[in-house]
């Protein structure tokens, strides 16, 4: 996994009056490594419907679809991975329940990271690297130096590391060489989203989302010649 790990956060998108599927289509046009649906407060049936709609979109774009927190919905929707946090179901239990679904895990300390690496997840996320406003009750900021330490541990274990938390186009270049991919939520969106419902204004917003996604992905994406060798 290398490049942009985009997160479609339902709450953040709703606050901007942006449809999750339209957002996903714009982001996927940039060819990101992965797209995660974060829908913590959305009823399970609605979340499943969104995941099922996203699955063929991600397959066409060659991006991994990741369900947040819900292994059951991940397997029902045909997701590539499920992402779990420190307070969610342990990795080994997730694998027993949904053996065909890969597992990624959030970590916030080196001890948590090492424990996760011992379980051999498909990837680990480490952060928040910077202060973030898109996650409630966020863990303490780890900073770039601690991210570098985490990346050394993950690289030694052969597990991709995704940096997460407050990452923007301006901050991302400083993380090259300290992560395999960057998870981004807020910086994929324009600073101000117009409330004008006309199709032209909506298309302008989606065009900016796509441009932001491409810019972020290029910072970490490998040269085209080596794409086929990546998992």
> What is the per-residue pLDDT for 200?
56
pLDDT at 190: 87
- Predicted TM-score of the model (pTM): 0.91
Round to whole Å and give the CA distance between 22 and 146. Answer: 36
Pick the CATH number of 3-226 from 3.20.20.70, 3.60.10.10, 1.10.3720.10, 3.30.70.1070: 3.20.20.70
| Rounded-to-integer distance, Cα 36 and Cα 66, Å | 4
Count CA within 13 A, CB hemisphere, residue 24. 28
pLDDT in tens, the chain (231 residues): 999 999 999 999 998 889 999 999 999 999 999 999 999 999 999 999 999 999 999 999 999 999 999 999 999 999 999 999 999 999 999 999 999 999 999 999 999 999 999 999 999 999 999 998 766 667 799 999 999 999 999 999 999 999 999 999 999 999 999 999 999 999 999 876 655 555 557 888 899 999 999 999 999 886 553 444 444
pLDDT score recorded for residue 195: 59
Give me the helix-helix angle, 44-61 and 20-28, nearest 10°.
20
What is d(CA 213, CA 187) in angstroms, rounded to the nearest whole number? 9
User: Looking at residue 73, what is its pLDDT?
Assistant: 97
Tell me what pLDDT residue 134 has: 65
């Amino acid at each position: 996994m290398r490049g942009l790990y985009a997160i479609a956060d339902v709450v953040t998108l709703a606050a901007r009056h942006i449809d999750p599927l339209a957002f996903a289509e714009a982001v996927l046009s940039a060819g990101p490594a992965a797209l995660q649906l974060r829908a913590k407060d959305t009823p399970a049936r609605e979340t499943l419907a969104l995941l099922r709609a996203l699955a063929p979109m991600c397959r066409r774009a060659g991006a991994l679809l990741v369900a947040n927190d819900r292994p059951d919905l991940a397997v029902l929707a045909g997701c590539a991975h499920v992402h779990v946090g420190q307070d969610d179901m342990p990795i080994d239990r997730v694998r027993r329940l949904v053996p065909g679904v890969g597992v990624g895990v959030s970590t916030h300390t080196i001890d948590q990271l090492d424990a996760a690496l011992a379980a051999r997840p498909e990837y680990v996320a480490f952060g928040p690297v910077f202060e973030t406003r898109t996650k409630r009750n966020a863990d303490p900021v780890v900073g770039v130096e601690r991210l570098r330490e985490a990346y050394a541990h993950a690289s030694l274990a052969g597990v991709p590391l995704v940096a997460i938390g407050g990452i923007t186009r301006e901050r991302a270049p400083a993380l090259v060489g300290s992560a395999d991919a960057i998870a981004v939520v807020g910086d994929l969106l324009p600073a101000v989203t117009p409330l004008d419902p006309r199709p032209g204004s909506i298309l302008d917003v989606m065009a900016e989302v796509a441009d932001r996604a491409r810019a972020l992905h290029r910072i970490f994406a490998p040269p085209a010649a080596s794409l086929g060798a990546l998992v």
